Amino acid sequence: MTTVAYPTDLQQRVDAYLDRLDLGDGPGTDRLAEAMRYSLLAGGKRIRPVLALATGETLGRDPEELLPLAGALEMIHTYSLIHDDLPAMDDDDLRRGIPTCHKAFGEDVAILAGDGLFAEALHLALAHQGGPPANVLAALREITAAAGVNGMVGGQFLDITAPDDLDAAALRRLHGLKTGRLIAASVNSVLLLAGTEEPATIHYGRFAAELGVLFQIVDDILDVTGDEASLGKPRGSDERHGKRTYVSMFGLERARELASESHAEARAALEQAGGSGGRLEQIADYILTRQT
């Protein structure tokens, strides 16, 4: 399957914006700021902030106006990666082809770097994101809920405590919280910021939720089939940690079928929302066909 082109111009906007951020490297905390920047600027496709900018474009918004919100999404995502890599969690040595934050700076600094990125993300959005205050707060409520117990953190807890007999419904819920919720919030927060009304929000919400599922299924597939140099981390880490994945539960071929089904559902929801043919559709196609 040929990889669909990614909207690299939006990715480059995000990268440039993140590089300009002041992460509070004042007297005595310069090493903490260095650790935060080390992980934040380590690369990656910036799926979440790019989704936010693409959603804005679909709604007729200038992506430049949404960079604070997009930057906050990436900072929260990066904080989660730093903490997921820690010895008490996934105990990974590499992330995006370089040593993980705790390997480069020590566990204590890495924990604080993750904490700092989460706090600075909220400050960035609250201080610099334009729009009606009520809409900005609604967008931040969506993002913080997606990062919390009923989202990413709760999903991570379910992941590390999952029983061996986890069934398909529980697996989808686990990954829907751990991965899908913040991906969905990348779309839904922009809808809230723009004051988008139903029924468009319903269809976009379904698109975003299905996109999160698609992303996780493909991630599980790549953990088995991907090239380590391209992935930037060792292949087969899920199997080493004994984690239940779409591949371990359904097998590789069925997992690929499930990815195609989720992709079709996402595209159908986007068409109903009136957003087909643009960047969001391109991102959905890219996620299905990505190799890294």
CA 58/CA 81 separation, integer angstroms = 29
User: 159-178, pLDDT tens digit by residue?
Assistant: 999 888 889 999 999 999 99
DSSP code string of 161-229: T--TT--HHHHHHHHIIIIIHHHHHHHHHHHHHHT--TTHHHHHHHHHHHHHHHHHHHHHHHHHHS-HH
Average pLDDT value for the chain: 92
CA 86/CA 123 separation, integer angstroms = 25
Which structural domain, as residue segments, surrounds residue 119? 8-289
User: 222-243, pLDDT tens digit by residue?
Assistant: 989 877 655 555 666 666 666 7
pLDDT of residue 230: 58
pLDDT of residue 165: 84
3-state secondary structure of 129: coil
Is residue 160, in this structure, part of any structural domain at all?
Answer: yes
Q: What is the CATH number of the domain that holds 231?
A: 1.10.600.10
290 pLDDT band, cuts 50/70/90, is: very high
pLDDT at 191 over 70: yes
pLDDT at 119 over 90: yes
Is residue 18, in this structure, part of any structural domain at all?
Answer: yes
Is residue 277, in this structure, part of any structural domain at all?
Answer: yes
**Both tokens of residue 159?**
């992941």
**How many folded domains does the chain comprise?**
1
Give the rounded percent of residues in the chain with a pLDDT score beyond 90.
78
pLDDT at 46 over 80: yes
pLDDT of residue 54: 96
Is residue 186, in this structure, part of any structural domain at all?
Answer: yes
CA 63/CA 58 separation, integer angstroms = 10
User: 142-160, pLDDT tens digit by residue?
Assistant: 999 999 999 999 999 999 9
Q: What residue type is assigned to position 186 of the chain?
A: S
Is residue 202, in this structure, part of any structural domain at all?
Answer: yes
pLDDT at 47 over 90: yes
Calculate mean pLDDT across residues 239-258.
86
Beta bridge partners of 94: 99
Q: What residue type is assigned to position 243 of the chain?
A: K
pLDDT at 135 over 90: yes
Is residue 2, in this structure, part of any structural domain at all?
Answer: no
Is residue 1, in this structure, part of any structural domain at all?
Answer: no
Is residue 21, in this structure, part of any structural domain at all?
Answer: yes
Give the rounded percent of residues in the chain with a pLDDT score beyond 70.
94
Closest CA to 52 of 61, 41, 42, 39: 61
pLDDT at 106 over 80: yes
Please answer whether residues 246 and 221 qualify as being in contact, where contact means their C-beta atoms are separated by less than 8 angstroms.
yes
